[in-house]
């Protein structure tokens, strides 16, 4: 993932919701106008009543849904990008901790070897000379 994929999503989500609500409102106004015209005319002969608000409302609804979908998609991308960055940071921290543990283990091994060598040297100097070890 690239940082260029990050983009603000809140504006698109809010715009999509507002467009959707306004489009629904305008569409309902067009439907009410068409219903009122058909009830007052007594027949369904007037096709023009409410047509423009219904079309405009439908376009706004569609634009709102598309904008909302894009905003949600961008938000999901941002969440994925944040998770990716966090996982890389976590992996780097884990690798650093593993290196520190390995260094500590190696230091303990070195200390044990040095202690064992010192103990062996002390034991060899503390032993009394045997019959074959003396000066000749």
pLDDT at 135: 53
10 Cβ contact list (under 8 Å, min separation 6): 71, 75
Cβ atoms 67, 12 nearer than 8 A: yes
pLDDT at 48: 74
Cβ atoms 48, 71 nearer than 8 A: no
Whole-number Å distance between alpha carbons of 13 and 59 = 17
pLDDT at 25: 95
Which of 21, 79, 74 has its CA nearest to residue 29?
Answer: 21
pTM of the full structure? 0.59
Q: What is the mean pLDDT of each run of 10 residues along the chain (136 residues)?
A: 71 92 93 82 66 90 94 89 86 87 90 87 72 53
**What is the sign, positive or negative, of the torsion defined by CA atoms of 41, 42, 45, 51?**
positive
């Amino acid at each position: 993932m690239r940082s260029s994929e990050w983009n603000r999503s809140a504006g698109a989500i809010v715009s999509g919701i507002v467009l959707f609500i306004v489009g629904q409102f305008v569409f309902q106004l067009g439907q009410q106008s068409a219903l009122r015209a058909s009830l007052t005319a007594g027949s369904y002969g007037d096709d023009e009543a409410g047509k423009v608000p219904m079309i405009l409302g439908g376009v706004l609804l569609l634009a709102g849904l598309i904008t909302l979908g894009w905003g949600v998609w961008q938000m999901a991308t941002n969440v994925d990008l944040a998770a990716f960055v966090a996982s890389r940071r976590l992996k780097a921290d884990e690798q650093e901790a593993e290196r520190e543990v390995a260094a500590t283990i190696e230091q303990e091994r070195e200390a044990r070897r040095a202690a064992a060598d010192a103990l062996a040297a002390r034991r060899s100097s503390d032993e009394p000379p045997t019959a074959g070890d003396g000066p000749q």
